[in-house]
Structure 1
Amino acid sequence: MIKAGIIGSTGYAGGELARLLLQRDDVEIIWYGSKSYVGQKYASIYQNMFQISEDTCLDDNIEALADKADVIFTATPQGFLASLLNDDILSRTKVIDLSADYRIKDVAVYEEWYKMVHKTPQYIKEAVYGLPELNREAIKTARLIANPGCYPTCSILSVNPLLKEGLLEPDSIIIDAKSGTSGAGRGAKVDNLFCEVNENMKAYGVGGHRHTPEIEEQLSYGAGMPVTISFTPHLVPMNRGILVTAYGTLKKDVSEAQIREVYKKYYENEFFVRVLEEDMTTQTKWVEGSNFVDVNVKLDKRTNRVVMMGAMDNLVKGAAGQAVQNMNLLFGLPEQKGLKMIPMFP
């Protein structure tokens, strides 16, 4: 039995972690951490947990939790874990961090984009970027996993194969991405009110979204050279989902069939990445509630550009599901365990 603790259990990602873990008979959630709801029944905050969880929310005391848990999930704002992590905690438990604190290897880049001083940069090098499709073997032996962001997960999986094959100009990539409102978190914000979001669509973080350096860093590893992207996210009036449409200029004269073969080669053994058939489009509805990422590609011969497309659920593969996927790898379990949910429709 794996004893798991969730710090930040009352946010959207924390609630999704609880939903996934409570369905398993090999995991026990021993700690529902919450800064705002200490002493309250977890099911009073998420009524879908009524008669499923009888637990009460505890505080965010990660030191105390480290004595009890085999794995700690930190579904917390940037800076939380970085301000508390130490050798003692990592010697007693494994940590899967859903924030950006340890995703970016250059601390100066992190501090520039996140506008805060990193309190424990000594752990950045050790942290493994938790995208199993790229770093599966390293994840298995890690103490600290930096769970990727939702936009980066979908963007990287959509674009990386062609960069690795040297088929794209590394400075030509444009990523246009859309997200449901749950990606902004559960905190009360005017921009997320119903009247602000409903019947509306907007770009945000234009030219400066915090996920930009994370995507660039991981794509650069794949390309074997620096990659600079133009990344523009959009908020759309739906609860869940990420849709990525990326564009890149070809370096070589290749056919669409050859490009599709690249994706099939890279993902033929990846259960959670589905390369769609040629006439199928990526749609958020067909991955909702699941850990799947649907990808597809189209060659625009007229412009010598490739259109790379991806769709996934931002709370599952983009956050909690990927964290559970990483937990499975850490504990030597089948990677798909507890994550074979078929996407919901309608």
Structure 2
Amino acid sequence: MVYSVAIAGASGYAGGELLRLLSAHPEFEVRTVTANKNAGQPLVALHPHLRSYAGMVLQETTAEVLKGHDVVFLALPHGHSGALAAELGDASLVVDCGADHRLTSADAWEKFYKSEYHGSWPYGLPELLLPSGVKQRENLAGVNRIAVPGCNVTAVSLALAPGLRAGVVQPIDLGAVLAVGPSGAGKTLRTDLLASEILGSAHAYGIGGTHRHVPEIIQNLSGPGEPVTVSFTPVLVPMARGILATSTARLQPGVSAADVRSAWSLAYADEPFVQLLPEGEFPSVSDTIGANTALIGLMVDEAAERVVTVTALDNLVKGTAGAAIQSTNIALGLPEGLGLPVNGVAP
């Protein structure tokens, strides 16, 4: 069976990456692409690298245009998916690559996003280890709504969840500092994202618990009656795409380095898209560019009594479009990895 696909927000970075990956998917056919201010333009005018879509024209983003497809991907800015999704009905599988349906707490949404809350959808991070001991993929089969995680959230959640679920690290005083590329902010023209501003420099933002991804990280890592505390600091660096997340956690008393490595090894032993590197090895962002792969390096800092993880992923693939397609595969009963690359592009 071939599933018909529409992509709202196809002119942006996330939309473009969805298109690139879907071009190699044997079960999906992109039939409709939409945009807002770019409606009416040829798709390849916005994405000249996507030659297989020559001839497609961006239509206006409306529910009427999107209805009638088997799968609708919403690659829209935060705050723009909720109302549109409510008009689409239940006939289509709708996958939101924005933040509108990620948070289970209305209070957290209103505090960090300051707009109307549209509820939560099944969460599209299949490898996330839950407090019950199962993976989030168990909650995705057969659903018709999916909320794709934030890219930074993916890196931190995958980095720390195994230790928390195994009880080898403490839930308080988690830390994460991330080097991130500006493509995560989308194509919006902003002075702080201009090449002249970021080349040869690096600057932190969303400091002191103010970043919108903080409540999502807490949501993913907390257990029943055991909320986590996390200090999360992203740092914008001059690379077009990618995330390198250094995440740390306090060891529980009496836990050995062997216990720590065992927790992460068991969590990801059978995961093709999340791989724990051998002891003493740590990933670079370039190892993951173009791939739906997160690579994790792990070490115990004995003197500081902390676990240190270094996680690399492509924010536009495993951090967004790849996760969306992976979760969609599960929802439709297709092989989870169908159409998704494990190998990156180098140099």
- Which category describes the TM-score, using the shorter chain as reference length? over 0.9
1:51 deviates by 5.1
Tell me, yes or no, if structure 1 residue 113 matches structure 2 residue 112: yes
TM-score by length of 2: 0.94
- Taking a change above 3 Å as real, the CA distance of residues 21 and 53 of structure 1, as seen in their structure-2 partners, is farther
Q: 1:236 and 1:325 mapped to 2: Cα distance?
A: 28
Q: Deviations over 1:132-152 (max 9, x none)?
A: 113112111211111001000
Secondary structure of the 1:175 match is strand
Secondary structure of the 1:54 match is coil
Are 2:70 and 2:92, in contact at CA under 8 Å, matched by a contact in 1? yes
Are 1:180 and 1:238, in contact at CA under 8 Å, matched by a contact in 2? yes
1:175 deviates by 0.7
Are 1:277 and 1:296, in contact at CA under 8 Å, matched by a contact in 2? yes
* Structure 1 counterpart of 2:124, from 113, 125, 130: 130
Q: Deviations over 1:260-303 (max 9, x none)?
A: 11111010111101100112112101111100000121111111
Q: 1:53 and 1:30 mapped to 2: Cα distance?
A: 12
Secondary structure of the 1:128 match is coil
Are 1:176 and 1:232, in contact at CA under 8 Å, matched by a contact in 2? yes
Are 1:164 and 1:224, in contact at CA under 8 Å, matched by a contact in 2? no
Are 1:74 and 1:96, in contact at CA under 8 Å, matched by a contact in 2? yes
Are 1:13 and 1:315, in contact at CA under 8 Å, matched by a contact in 2? yes
1:345 deviates by 1.0
Aligned-residue RMSD, C-alpha: 1.3
Secondary structure of the 2:291 match is coil
Are 2:62 and 2:84, in contact at CA under 8 Å, matched by a contact in 1? no
How many percent identity over aligned positions? 37
Q: 1:41 and 1:17 mapped to 2: Cα distance?
A: 17
Matches within 5 A, 1:28-43: 28-43=29-44
Consecutive unaligned residues of structure 2, counting only runs of 5 or more, are 129-135
Q: 1:71 and 1:226 mapped to 2: Cα distance?
A: 35
Matches within 5 A, 1:188-199: 188-199=189-200
Q: 1:116 and 1:241 mapped to 2: Cα distance?
A: 28
Q: 1:175 and 1:304 mapped to 2: Cα distance?
A: 16
TM-score by length of 1: 0.95
Match of 1:70 in 2: 70
Q: 1:84 and 1:47 mapped to 2: Cα distance?
A: 28
Q: 1:229 and 1:261 mapped to 2: Cα distance?
A: 23
Q: Deviations over 1:42-75 (max 9, x none)?
A: 01111112354320001111243222x1010001
* Structure 2 counterpart of 1:209, from 208, 211, 214: 211
Superposed structure 1 runs of 4+ greater than 6 Å apart: none
Matches within 5 A, 1:127-166: 127-134=121-128, 135-166=136-167
Match of 1:27 in 2: 28
Q: 2:77 and 2:270 mapped to 1: Cα distance?
A: 34
Q: 2:25 and 2:175 mapped to 1: Cα distance?
A: 40
Match of 1:16 in 2: 17
Q: Deviations over 1:131-172 (max 9, x none)?
A: 011311211121111100100001000000000011222111
Tell me, yes or no, if structure 1 residue 228 matches structure 2 residue 229: yes
Q: 2:26 and 2:283 mapped to 1: Cα distance?
A: 33
Are 2:272 and 2:342, in contact at CA under 8 Å, matched by a contact in 1? no
Q: Deviations over 1:228-265 (max 9, x none)?
A: 10000000000111111011111122222221111110
Secondary structure of the 2:100 match is coil
Secondary structure of the 2:127 match is helix
Secondary structure of the 2:112 match is helix
Query: Which letter does structure 2 place at the counterpart of 1:210?
Result: R
Q: 1:333 and 1:202 mapped to 2: Cα distance?
A: 42
Match of 1:344 in 2: 345
Secondary structure of the 1:191 match is helix
1:29 deviates by 0.6
Secondary structure of the 1:327 match is helix
Query: Which letter does structure 1 place at the counterpart of 2:202?
Result: M
Are 1:90 and 1:144, in contact at CA under 8 Å, matched by a contact in 2? no
- Taking a change above 3 Å as real, the CA distance of residues 63 and 166 of structure 1, as seen in their structure-2 partners, is farther
Secondary structure of the 2:218 match is helix
